[in-house]
Amino acid sequence: MKLALSLVLLILAGPSGPAAAETVTPVKGCPLAGSYSDASEDCKAMRTAYQAEVTACINNLAAEAAKKYGNRADNSSHGYRARFQICDAEVRAVFGQLSN
Other Cβ atoms closer than 10 A to 21? 23
The domain spans of the chain are 2-95
pLDDT at 26: 63
**Measuring CA to CA, how many Å separate 81 from each of 77, 97, 98?**
6, 20, 18
Q: What does the alpha-carbon distance between residue 100 and residue 95 come to, in Å, rounded to a whole number?
A: 14
Sequence-ordered list of residues with C-beta below 8 angstroms from that of 14, at least 6 positions apart, any chain: 60
- DSSP per residue, 19-72: GGGGGSPPPTT--SSS-STT--HHHHHHHHHHHHHHHHHHHHHHHHHHHHHGGG
pLDDT in the model for residue 98: 59
d(CA 60, CA 54) in angstroms, rounded, equals: 10
- pLDDT at position 32: 79
In this prediction, the residues of the chain whose per-residue pLDDT falls under 50 are 1, 4-22, 100
pLDDT of residue 68: 86
DSSP 8-state secondary structure symbol assigned to residue 14 = T
